[in-house]
Amino acid sequence: MLVLIPHNLKIPFIRIRWLGFVLSIALILTGVLALVQIGRGKAKMGVDFAGGTSVEIEFAQSVSSDALRAALKSPDFRDVSQQSINEPGRYKYMLRIFAPALPMEEVSTRVVDILRKNIPDNTVTVLSSEDVGPSVSAHLRQQAMMAVFWAMVGILIYIWWRFDFRLSVAATVATIHDLLAVLGIMFLLGNEINLLLVTALLTIGGYSLNDTVVVFDRIRENLRLRRKDEYNQIVNDSVNETLSRTIITSFATLLVVVCLFFLGGEVIHTFALAMLIGIVVGTYSSIFVASNFVVEWNVHNPLPR
């Protein structure tokens, strides 16, 4: 029997919970910072949420960033930004253009026309383009918020029904913690906030909850079996008992997500990165955040047993 995590391991998670407390506050703050910046319109938003045009292009030969920037100068375009996509042997760029004066469906065409004219000795191919008008982006923003809201409500109700009120609040707090942490880290890393990121966030919510539920399930079972033991002790033992499973599952999922991150291509790159961060944060939170929240609640307001 190969054992990665010894079964009789007794890490005093509850005693060192201040450590998690400090880290979690920091993580939550980055998430709040991201939210505030999004609210102020200072975050980098995807075209799906902000409206505008994005064009992904590939050149046959290498083009410097400066040459591209110069080629894109046009009185029609406002707020042009460009980002090269790293892929050995290929010259790909992602362009973002805001051109309110032009008819929406023409912007991406116009961009390519200008590039063909200003960089004539190179072949430019449009890999993909997206033009999003203000009504659609407003709709998508609203849909994304609704999705996050209903996912949270659904989860809260389900855990409440299956466990009890305290555990359900703890699970929801842990989930929100994870979402904020991933959002914050993605924001600090300079990633675009778009629909795919929200999808990743919701998946992370479901996934990290999965971990939390396993721990809670064990707490519930142990509370029934060991009626005389102290609450904190039971929670701590439960976390330790499920630690092996938590780590192994996370590791296996991490394996596939790492493959997705390195081999999945640019479309899915950010999604994979968010998942990667999410799995690590989710594993941490199911060990440190959810159970400690329950313990802290019990210290201040012991549950009659």
Residues between 224 and 253 with contacts to other proteins, criterion CB under 8 A? 241-242, 244-245, 248-249, 251-253
Q: DSSP character for 304? A: P
Q: Cβ closer to other proteins: 23 or 258?
A: 258
Strand partners, 85: 92
Length of the chain: 305
Does 2 engage in binding with other proteins (CB under 8 A)?
yes
Distance of CA 260 to the CA centre of its chain: 15
Asked if 205 and 180 touch (Cβ cutoff 8 Å), the reply is no
Binding string, residues 76-115; x marks residues near other proteins by CB under 8 A: ---------------------------xxx--xx------
Part of the chain binding other proteins (CB under 8 A), chosen from 29-37, 38-46, 149-157, 294-302: 149-157
Binding string, residues 199-218; x marks residues near other proteins by CB under 8 A: x--xx-xxx-xxx-xx--xx
Q: DSSP character for 7? A: T
CB of 66 to other proteins, least distance (A): 26
Q: Cβ closer to other proteins: 83 or 244?
A: 244
Distance of CA 50 to the CA centre of its chain: 19
Q: Cβ closer to other proteins: 12 or 103?
A: 103
127 sits in which H/E element: strand 124-132
Q: Cβ closer to other proteins: 17 or 177?
A: 177
CA-to-CA distance for 58 and 127, rounded, in angstroms? 7
**Residues 16-45 interacting with other proteins (rule: CB under 8 A):** none
Query: Hey, is 181 helix, strand or coil?
Result: helix
Angle (nearest 5°) at CA 31 between 253 and 187? 75
Q: Cβ closer to other proteins: 12 or 154?
A: 154
**Residues 261-280 interacting with other proteins (rule: CB under 8 A):** 262-265, 267-268, 271-272, 275
Cβ-based neighbour number of residue 142 at 10 Å:
10
CB of 4 to other proteins, least distance (A): 7
**Residues 151-170 interacting with other proteins (rule: CB under 8 A):** 151, 154-155, 158-159, 162
Q: How many residues bind other proteins (CB under 8 A)?
A: 74
Q: According to CB under 8 A, which one of 31, 46, 131, 284 is a site residue for other proteins?
A: 131
Asked if 175 and 155 touch (Cβ cutoff 8 Å), the reply is yes
CA-to-CA distance for 302 and 233, rounded, in angstroms? 14
Q: According to CB under 8 A, which one of 31, 56, 177, 288 is a site residue for other proteins?
A: 56
Q: Cβ closer to other proteins: 26 or 252?
A: 252
Does 9 engage in binding with other proteins (CB under 8 A)?
no
Residue 230's contacts (CB-CB under 8 Å, 6 or more residues apart) are: none
Token reading at 121: 């000795």
Does 6 engage in binding with other proteins (CB under 8 A)?
no
Asked if 305 and 27 touch (Cβ cutoff 8 Å), the reply is no
CB of 18 to other proteins, least distance (A): 28
Asked if 4 and 272 touch (Cβ cutoff 8 Å), the reply is no
Q: Cβ closer to other proteins: 23 or 164?
A: 164
CA-to-CA distance for 55 and 61, rounded, in angstroms? 18
Q: Cβ closer to other proteins: 37 or 199?
A: 199
